[in-house]
Amino acid sequence: MNKCQGCGAQLQIENKEEIGYTTKLESHLCERCFRIQHYGDYKTVMKENKDYISILKSVNQTGSLVLLVVDLFFLNENFTIFKETLKDSKVLLVLTKRDLLPDSIYENKLLQYMDRFGIPFIDKIIISKKNYHYDELMDLIQKYQTSKKVYVVGYTNAGKSTMINHMIYHYSNLNQEITTSMLPSTTLNQIEIPLTDDLVLIDTPGILEEGTILDYIDEKTIKKILPKKAVNPITYQVKKENSFHLDDFLIVSVEEPTNLTFFFSNSLQLERKFEKAKIEKKFQGHTLSMKQNEDIVIAGLGFIKVSKPCKIKIQTLPNVKVYKRDSLI
Ligand SMILES: Nc1nc2c(ncn2[C@@H]2O[C@H](COP(=O)(O)OP(=O)(O)OP(=O)(O)O)[C@@H](O)[C@H]2O)c(=O)[nH]1
Ligand SMILES: [Mg+2]
55 and 203, same domain (yes or no): yes
List pLDDT tens digits, range 79-136. Answer: 999 999 999 999 999 999 999 999 999 999 999 999 999 999 999 999 999 999 999 9
109 and 184, same domain (yes or no): yes
244 and 148, same domain (yes or no): no
Ligand that lies nearest to the alpha carbon of residue 36, given by its number in the listed order: 1
Q: What is the CATH number of the domain that holds 181?
A: 3.40.50.300
Confidence band, pLDDT 50/70/90 cuts, at residue 44: confident
Q: Given a cut of 80, is residue 47 above it in pLDDT? A: no
189 lines ligand 1 (CB under 6 A): no
Query: How many domains does the structure of the chain reveal?
Result: 3
53 and 200, same domain (yes or no): yes
108 and 188, same domain (yes or no): yes
294 and 170, same domain (yes or no): no
Mean pLDDT calculated for residue range 37-54? 85
58 and 201, same domain (yes or no): yes
In a domain, 200, yes or no: yes
CB of 187 closer than 8 Å to CB of 203? yes
240 and 170, same domain (yes or no): no
Residue 239 C-alpha to ligand 1 middle, in angstroms? 39
Confidence band, pLDDT 50/70/90 cuts, at residue 45: confident
**What local confidence, expressed as pLDDT, does residue 12 receive?**
96
In a domain, 216, yes or no: no
Name the pTM for this structure. Answer: 0.96
Give, as one character, the DSSP assignment of residue 208: P
In this predicted structure, which of 148-152, 222-226, 313-317 has the lowest mean pLDDT? 222-226
CB atoms under 10 Å from CB of 271, counted, come to: 10
For residue 37, give its domain range. Answer: 1-43
List pLDDT tens digits, range 160-198. Answer: 999 999 999 999 999 999 999 998 999 999 999 999 999
Give the domain-ending residue among 155, 176, 209: 209
**Dist. CA 48–CA 274, nearest whole Å:** 44
CB of 76 closer than 8 Å to CB of 95? no
| Percent of the chain as helix, strand, coil, to the nearest 5 | 25, 30, 45
Q: Given a cut of 70, is residue 260 above it in pLDDT? A: yes
56 and 155, same domain (yes or no): yes
**Dist. CA 190–CA 182, nearest whole Å:** 19
Q: Given a cut of 70, is residue 150 above it in pLDDT? A: yes
Residue 295 C-alpha to ligand 1 middle, in angstroms? 24
Percent of the chain exceeding pLDDT 70 equals: 100
181 lines ligand 1 (CB under 6 A): yes
Burial of residue 65 (CB within 10 Å: 0-12, 13-18, 19+) is buried
Residue 164 C-alpha to ligand 2 middle, in angstroms? 9
Q: Given a cut of 90, is residue 48 above it in pLDDT? A: no
**What local confidence, expressed as pLDDT, does residue 55 receive?**
93
Mean pLDDT calculated for residue range 19-30? 94
105 and 159, same domain (yes or no): yes
Residue 156 Cα: closest atom of ligand 1: 25
Q: Given a cut of 80, is residue 46 above it in pLDDT? A: no
Ligand that lies nearest to the alpha carbon of residue 186, given by its number in the listed order: 1
List pLDDT tens digits, range 273-283. Answer: 999 899 999 99
Percent of the chain exceeding pLDDT 90 equals: 91
